Structure 1
C-alpha cells in the first residue's frame, strides 16, 4: 500500500458510521470493503464501482481506468500508450474527429481543467466530471466512456494530425531535468522495462510509427477485463448500475488475449552511484534508493497497523530533517524520506536532499547523520506522542467531514483499489482503527522498522546539478565511498528541549464591541470593535469540521521606497521563519501537535493580512496564533541568517534556466526597470540588502495596527461561541485610530509597442509571451466580460493553434481588470512551441483576435463559456473558499457582494456584441510587449 495515499486518500470513502467496536482486535482479521460502494464485475470481466455521494450536488465524477500503460508497449510502440490517450479525443464511434471536446463543452465541461486524462507506466486514466443539471447528461457521459473503452476511430489523418501535438508535449518537457533524468533513470531501474518505457516515449518513434502500431496497442490492451468504470456522485445507484450493463456488456475481449503481467525489477547486486551535471540545472539534488522490494497492499488489520508504523516513522524522521534547516547556516534547502517506488508492486525507502549554500557534500552528510541517528538511538517518547497526535488529528478531521467529502478524492481511492488492490474499509472503520491501534504502537516497533533499512544493502545513489559551480563534485565512485563512510559514522545523540504546553500563558483582556449588524441576504454578521477592527462571520454547513479565516489591512509594500523593496516584500516570510511569541517554528510545531490549526501572515504590494484555517474544536488555537502573529513577532537572528542563506542558495543558479532568464528580462522590460517593482528572479546579492530590524519594523507597521483591519471567517461557526473569542483575540489588538489606505507608488507597465527577443537554451523550444495593458476605469461588468473574452480565446487556441495547426500542446491567455492601486487591465498570452512555428502562431493568434474584433465570437463558443461558468457557480455556492472571496471583494474593493445572487442572469446577458466591444477596447494595439524566447544560435 502507498503510505502517503493511506492517510490522505484511503480514509475518504464512507458516509455512514458503521459502529465498529473494539471487539475487532485480531491482527489477522481481513480488512473489509466499504459497504457503501457497489463493486461488481460484468461477464466480460469489466469491473465497476458505484457510490452515491452528494458533494457536490447535481454532479457526478466518471472515470475509465485502463490497467495498461507504457510498460506494455512493444519496441515499435514507445510512446503509443500515451498517444492512445490523445486519440481518445480525436474521433470515435459517436463523436467524429474533434467533436467530442466541443460537445462536452456545451454541457459545461472545461477541457483540461475538468475533462482530462493521463498515462503512466502501468495505467491510463480518463477523467470526466459531468454536471447533472440535465439528468440525461449521465447517459451522455457513459456514452463517452464507452467510446473510449472500445470505439476509437484511429483514422490515419487524425493520427498524423495528433503526432505534432504529442511531439509538442514532448518538447515542453525537454530541458535540464529531462536530460538528467534520462541519464539517471535507466541505471536506477537497470534490467527492468521501467528503465526503457518512459510514458512520453521516443520522438523518433512518434514521428514515424506505422498506423497499425498504434491501433495494435489499443486492440491488445483496451479490453474489458483490464478496465474499470467508476461512478461517484449525486446519482441513483440502481440506475447507474443499469447504465453500466447497457453501455459495457457488449464489449468483448480478444480471442487470444496477451497476458497482462507486472514488469519485474531486477534485484540490485551491488551499490552504484552516478553523478550527472547539466549547464541549465538550477540546484544540486542527491537521492539515495535503499533496497526496493516487492510489497503487497494491506489485506489484514496487521498489515494496516504496519502501514501506520511506517507513517509514524517517516513523520518523525522528516520532522527531524526539517529541524536541521532551522539554524543560522542550514546544511540543505530540503531533506525528506518516504517509502515508495515508480514500479507497481514494489516499495523502497528513499531519501532525498536539495543542497544549500554549503553544497551537496554537506547536504548529504547531514541527512545521512540524521538517518543514522534515528537508526542507532531511535526516537523519543515525546516525538512518538506528537506523531500519533498528528496522524489522529488528520484522520479525525476526515471522519468529521465524512458526509461532506467531495466525489473526486473518493473516486481516486477506488481507482487505486482496482489497479493495485488498495483496501477501502471506509472512513468510519479507519478512524476507529487509528484510535484503537495508535496507543499500542511502541518505540520498539518503530525501531524495528528503522533497523530494517539496511545501510549495507545494495544502494543506488544519484547526484545531479549544475556543471559549473564553486563546488568540487565527486565522481560516482567517490560519491559511493563518501555515502558508505557517512552511513557508518557514529552519530551524536541529541537531547530534545522541552516546550511549553500551551501557546499563551496569559490571555489578553477582551475588547469592546461597538457595533453589530446582520445581512440576512448574505447570511453574515458584521462586528466592529472599539479598536477599529471589523469581523465578518458567515456560518455555513458546507463542511462539518472546517473554518477558514482571511483578512486584509489596506497598505502594503508599495508604501516603501526602493531601498526597502526587498525587505518589505519579504518581511512576512521572515517573521514566519523566526516564529512568534516565545516559540521558534520547531517549538511551535511541537506545541501544536494534535491540533488542526494554522495561520500565515502576508504583506503584498498594496495590502497586508493573515490567513488561516482550523477544525471546529481548534478555532481558539487559530485565533491565538493570529493574535501572536499580529502582536508578538519573534526576533531570531540565527534563523534570519539561515533563511537568507537558503534563499541565496535557492536562486544561485536560477538564471541557468533559459525560461527564468526570459521571464526575468521580460518583466524588467514590462516594468521599465523600475526599482520599486519586485524582481521576478532575485539575485543572491538582493538578499544582502535585507535588514532584520527594518523587516520587523515594516511588519509591525503593516500588521500591528487593528484600525481598519477587516477579518472574514467562514465555516461551521457557532456564532454565540466564537464572538467572545473574537473579542478576546481580535478586539484586544492594539489600534492607533489612524485610517488605513492603499498607496499607488507610481509603478506602471510599459507603454507603446515593444518587441523583445531572447536567445537562450540548447533545446529546440521557444516561448511566445505577449502582454496587453492600459489604464481603464474599473467596473465589475467589464471584468466579467474580460474573463469571457479570455475563455473564448482559449477555446480558439485549443481548436485552431493546437488541434488544426498542431503548433502547440498547451497555451492560454489570462488576466483581468484591476481596481487598485490604479484602475487598469493586463492580459498575458503564453504559447510554448517550436522555433519553426513562432511566426505562424503569432499570425494565427492575431487572426483570431481580428476575427473577434471584426465579427465577434461564434455564438456556440460564447454559449460554452456561459454554460461552464454557471455549472461551476452552482458548485462554488457551497464552498467556504468561494464565500470567503466574495465577502473579501465586497469589503476590499467595494464590490456589491449581492451581485453573487444575480450571477447567472449577468452571465446569460453577455452578448456577442459585448465580447466584440471588449476585444476592441482591450486589444487596441496601444501598449503591447511581445516577447519571444528562442534557443541559442548554433555557433
Structure 2
C-alpha cells in the first residue's frame, strides 16, 4: 500500500487548494455556464466559496458522510474512495504503525471476502491490485480506493459491499495478522536508506518537537513484530466509525439509485459506546529559530533549505482564494527567475527554488531550497538569498506579472474547456480534501468564473509585499542535508547567520528582464504541397505524403476538447556514430532544446510561450531521432513553427553548453555514494561487458562532449525530412491542420536518405551468471533476476510473453508476499524488441531480508519451473484476459494511446490496424502457448542473478 513519502527536498508542492497552474491567453469567448457568475459587477471578497452544486453531499444520522457525482469520463467506470480521519497521529505509544498495519489487513479478510478473496474476486473483474485497488495511510488519514466497471450490476453491488466492509467489517484474524507482519516489515525495510535515516534526525526540528515527528505511519519494528492482535482490533473498533468516515463515488452511475444503496448499506454503522473524539495535535510556533545539519554517507548532494513557518487556514472566502492566487503567482514569478539563473554558464548551484507551500496541519511555509555545487556551499546559499533579496528590494516587473497572469488565465481557460472530459479521479481528490481537510470544493463553472474575475485584480504591489510579510527572522528553520564526506565543509549556525547578514548588506542590481521582439522564425517558409493521400477508415486515419517526401499520419479524435499530440520519428540515432562521437551525439538533443530555437534563446523563448499551450522537444535515441510535441488549437501555428525551427535553425549557445556540462558533472560527483546507482552500474557492466553505451555517464565522459560536434550531429539527424513520419492525434480537423503541414512540414529540407539504425552488436553473454554487489549500510538485500536472449519477434509470441509476465507476477506475489511474507512487492516484467534484431528481457525483482535471499530465489525458480512444466492455471489466465480487455476499453479513448500505437507501427513497420484484432488475437493465447513461451525464453542457462547486499556482508 502507498505510504507517506520521504521528505528530503520535499515540501515543494503548491498549496493544495490553489488553482491549477500552467505555462500557457485566455480566449475571449464567454462560456454560457459561467455567465451568471461573471454577470455580477464584482465578487465580494468576503463571500463564502460555493460548494460544488453538481455533487450530492449528504450525512447519515450516524455521522457517515457521502459524496456522489455522475461523471462519464471514463465511460462505464466508477471510482469509489473510502476516507477515514484515522492516521498514525491517533496511535498510542504501543500502537505505533498500527494505522498503517490495519490498512494492510483490509485486504486480508473482510466479512464478505475472507482471507484473500477480495483481491482474487476483483482481479477476476479486471481490477488490478496495486494500480487500481489500493490504499494509503498518512499522519491523519487512511484512504482506500476502488475503481471498477459500472456496467456490471453484480460487480457494482459487490463494490459497494467492499466499501461497507472496509468501513467496519475487517475480520482481523490472528492467522492473517501474523502472516502480514512479514509483509509490513519488508515494506519498512525497503524504505530504509539515507532518506529515512536523515528524516529521523530532522523531523523533530521540522515539526517543532511535536508528536508528529514520533508518529511516522510505518511504525516501529518492535511493535509490528510483537503487538498482540487485540491491540489492533481495539484500534479498529475505536477509530473505524461512521463519524470519521466518508464515501466518495464518482462515475458513470445512476446517482439516485447509488444514494439509496449508500443509505441502505451504511446507515447501520455504529460508534462504540465509549467513543472519544480524536485529540487535535498541534505543531507549536514559538517564534524561535532552529538550525540543523544532517549527514549521511549515501547522500549524493548538499541540499540547503530554509523554512519560514506561519499558520494558515484553508480558504473559506473569495478573499482567501485570492490570497492563494497571489502566492501561486509569486511562486511562478520567482521560480522563472531561478530558471534563468540556473541556465547561466556560471550558475551558482545545481538547482534552486522558492515556494509558498503547505507543511502539515495548519503550518505553511515560505521555503527556499538549493542543491549546492561541489565546494560551493557558501556561494550557493548566498546566491539563493540574493535572488530573494533582489525581489524584496526591487520587486518584480509589471511585464513579468503580466506573463504569469496570462499563463494562469490560460490554465483556467483550458480546464474549463475540458470540463466535460475531466476524469473521475480528479473530482474524487477535491471531495477527499473537502472531507479530510475542510478545503473548499468548487464546481468547475464557479472555479472558472471566480478565477477569471480575480486574476486581473492581482496587483504588483501586493505580490511584491509578500516577502515583507513572510520572509521574517522568526520561526525560521535552516537545514543542511549532506554527504558524510562534506561534513567538515558544512557551516555552523553562526556562520550561516553571518552569510545572511552579509547578503543583507550586499549591493544588488535590479533584475533585467530579457525579452525579444523578434519572431521565432526569421521568415516564413515557402509552402509545399500534399502529393498523395491514403485513408485507413477502420482506425480513422489518413496518411499524407508531402512534396518533400515527408509522411504525415492524421487521426482526429474527440477524446479531448482541445488537445493535439504530435510525434515525429526517423530511423538512425546515435548508432550511426562512433564511440568517439557517442557522448556528443547522446546529449545533442538536450543541449539544443536547452538553448532555445530559431531567433530566440532559452530565456526569450520561455517568455514567448507565456499564455500559450505549445511545446516540442527533440530527441536522439540509439536507433532513431524525432520530436514529441503537443498543442491546443490556438497554439498550432506556434508548435509547427517550433518544429520547423528545430529542423532548420537549431542553436547551441555557449553559455548553455558550459552550464549543462558544469551542472551535469556536479550532479555526478557523489553519485556512487548511492547503493542503487552502484548496483545499476554493476548490472550493466556485467551484462554488456562495460560498453560505454550501456553505462551511466561519468564526469570524464561529460568532458568528451564537444559543443560544435553536438550541434553538427543534431543538424545531421534533422537534415532530411523525407525519411520522417509525423503522427498527429487529437482535436483537430483535416482542413484545419493541412495549411500548417504544407507550410511548415512540406517545406522542410530533404536529402533523400534511406537510413536505418545500426546493429552495434551489444549483447548480454550467452551464459547466465550470478553476481553479488556490496554497497550500503542498511541490513537489507535487493534481488534482480534477468532472462535475456534472442527473440522471435512476432504477434503470437508477443501476446504470449505479455500474458506470461502477468501470470508469473500473480504467482510471485501470491507466493513470496502472501504465503511467505518475505517481500513487500515483487513482479515480473517482460520486454521485447524487433530492432535492430529480435531480443527479449524478462526481469524479476524484489527487496527482502538478507537471510531470506536464497529461499526466495528458490521460490522464484519453483514458480517459473511450474509454468514451464504445467503452464499457468486457468484462473490466472482469466484474470489477465479481463484486465487486458478492461484496460483496452479505457486506452482506446486516449490520445496518448493512439499516438504511441501509430508511432510504434511506423518504427517497427507494422500494421497499425492490428489493434482492432487485439481482443480476437488475445483469445488465441492459452496455457499451452504461454507454457511454450516459458520453455523457450525462461531458460536456466540464460538467467542472470544480481544481489545487492550491505557492505558489511
TM superposition shift of 1:108 = 0.2
Secondary structure of 2:338 counterpart: helix
Any idea what the Cα deviations from partners look like across 1:138-178, whole Å, max 9, x if unmatched? 11111111111100111111111111111111111111111
Which residue number in structure 1 is paired with residue 769 of structure 2?
A: 754
**Is 1:784 the equivalent of 2:796?**
no
Secondary structure of 2:941 counterpart: coil
Whole-Å separation in 2 of the counterparts to 1:499 and 1:520: 46
Q: How does 1:460-539 map to 2 (within 5 A)?
A: 460-469=477-486, 472-483=489-500, 485-486=502-503, 489-500=506-517, 502-539=519-556
**Is 1:612 the equivalent of 2:621?**
no
Which residue number in structure 2 is paired with residue 564 of structure 1?
A: 581
Could you tell me which of 807, 810, 829 is aligned with 2:822?
807
**Contact between 2:33 and 2:445, CA under 8 Å: does it hold in 1?**
yes
Which residue number in structure 1 is paired with residue 19 of structure 2?
A: 7
Q: Which runs of 5+ in 1 are unaligned?
A: none
**Contact between 2:67 and 2:249, CA under 8 Å: does it hold in 1?**
yes
Which residue number in structure 2 is paired with residue 868 of structure 1?
A: 883
Whole-Å separation in 1 of the counterparts to 2:61 and 2:520: 61
Which residue number in structure 2 is paired with residue 741 of structure 1?
A: 756
Could you tell me which of 51, 74, 77 is aligned with 2:95?
77
Whole-Å separation in 2 of the counterparts to 1:191 and 1:322: 35
Which residue number in structure 2 is paired with residue 917 of structure 1?
A: 932
Q: Which runs of 5+ in 2 are unaligned?
A: 1-12, 23-30
Could you tell me which of 182, 186, 193 is aligned with 2:200?
182
**Is 1:234 the equivalent of 2:246?**
no
Could you tell me which of 354, 375, 387 is aligned with 2:404?
387
Secondary structure of 2:830 counterpart: strand
Secondary structure of 1:439 counterpart: helix
Any idea what the Cα deviations from partners look like across 1:594-627, whole Å, max 9, x if unmatched? 0011111111110110001111211221111111
**Contact between 1:335 and 1:352, CA under 8 Å: does it hold in 2?**
yes
Which residue number in structure 1 is paired with residue 912 of structure 2?
A: 897
Whole-Å separation in 2 of the counterparts to 1:52 and 1:808: 39
Which residue number in structure 1 is paired with residue 850 of structure 2?
A: 835
Any idea what the Cα deviations from partners look like across 1:550-589, whole Å, max 9, x if unmatched? 1111011111111122221111111112121122222111
Which residue number in structure 1 is paired with residue 872 of structure 2?
A: 857
- Structure 2 vs 1, CA of residues 553 and 699 (structure 1 numbering), >3 Å: closer, same or farther? same
Whole-Å separation in 1 of the counterparts to 2:102 and 2:476: 36
Which residue number in structure 2 is paired with residue 147 of structure 1?
A: 165
Worse-superposed segment, 903-912 or 14-23: 14-23
TM superposition shift of 1:719 = 1.2
TM superposition shift of 1:404 = 0.7
Secondary structure of 1:136 counterpart: helix
Whole-Å separation in 1 of the counterparts to 2:716 and 2:931: 46
Any idea what the Cα deviations from partners look like across 1:844-877, whole Å, max 9, x if unmatched? 0000000001111111011001101100000111
**Is 1:215 the equivalent of 2:233?**
yes
TM superposition shift of 1:519 = 1.2
- Structure 2 vs 1, CA of residues 520 and 659 (structure 1 numbering), >3 Å: closer, same or farther? same
Which residue number in structure 2 is paired with residue 86 of structure 1?
A: 104
**Contact between 2:139 and 2:212, CA under 8 Å: does it hold in 1?**
yes
Whole-Å separation in 2 of the counterparts to 1:135 and 1:733: 55
Secondary structure of 1:713 counterpart: strand
Which residue number in structure 1 is paired with residue 354 of structure 2?
A: 337
Which residue number in structure 2 is paired with residue 706 of structure 1?
A: 721
- Structure 2 vs 1, CA of residues 672 and 15 (structure 1 numbering), >3 Å: closer, same or farther? farther
How many pairs are equivalent?
932
Could you tell me which of 772, 786, 796 is aligned with 2:787?
772
Q: How does 1:303-342 map to 2 (within 5 A)?
A: 303-342=320-359
Whole-Å separation in 1 of the counterparts to 2:728 and 2:708: 32
TM superposition shift of 1:490 = 4.7
Could you tell me which of 64, 72, 84 is aligned with 2:82?
64
- Could you state the TM-score of these two structures normalised by the residue count of structure 1? 0.97
Whole-Å separation in 1 of the counterparts to 2:67 and 2:518: 47
Which residue number in structure 1 is paired with residue 941 of structure 2?
A: 926
**Contact between 2:68 and 2:259, CA under 8 Å: does it hold in 1?**
yes
Any idea what the Cα deviations from partners look like across 1:9-65, whole Å, max 9, x if unmatched? 99xxx9965742241521111111111111111111111001101011100011001
Structural RMSD (CA): 1.8
Whole-Å separation in 2 of the counterparts to 1:476 and 1:855: 67
**Contact between 2:568 and 2:727, CA under 8 Å: does it hold in 1?**
yes
Whole-Å separation in 2 of the counterparts to 1:588 and 1:778: 43
**Is 1:370 the equivalent of 2:370?**
no
Which residue number in structure 2 is paired with residue 763 of structure 1?
A: 778
Whole-Å separation in 2 of the counterparts to 1:470 and 1:263: 35
**Contact between 1:776 and 1:825, CA under 8 Å: does it hold in 2?**
yes
Which residue number in structure 2 is paired with residue 598 of structure 1?
A: 615
- Could you state the TM-score of these two structures normalised by the residue count of structure 2? 0.96
**Contact between 2:719 and 2:751, CA under 8 Å: does it hold in 1?**
no
Could you tell me which of 592, 616, 628 is aligned with 2:645?
628
Whole-Å separation in 2 of the counterparts to 1:4 and 1:678: 40
**Is 1:547 the equivalent of 2:559?**
no
Worse-superposed segment, 467-476 or 526-535: 467-476
Any idea what the Cα deviations from partners look like across 1:647-694, whole Å, max 9, x if unmatched? 11111111001111111011111111124x231x32111100100111
TM superposition shift of 1:742 = 2.0
Could you tell me which of 820, 823, 827 is aligned with 2:838?
823
**Contact between 1:857 and 1:916, CA under 8 Å: does it hold in 2?**
yes
**Is 1:452 the equivalent of 2:454?**
no
**Contact between 1:272 and 1:480, CA under 8 Å: does it hold in 2?**
no
- Structure 2 vs 1, CA of residues 353 and 15 (structure 1 numbering), >3 Å: closer, same or farther? farther
Any idea what the Cα deviations from partners look like across 1:738-783, whole Å, max 9, x if unmatched? 1132211111122202111111111011111111111122102211
**Contact between 1:705 and 1:734, CA under 8 Å: does it hold in 2?**
yes
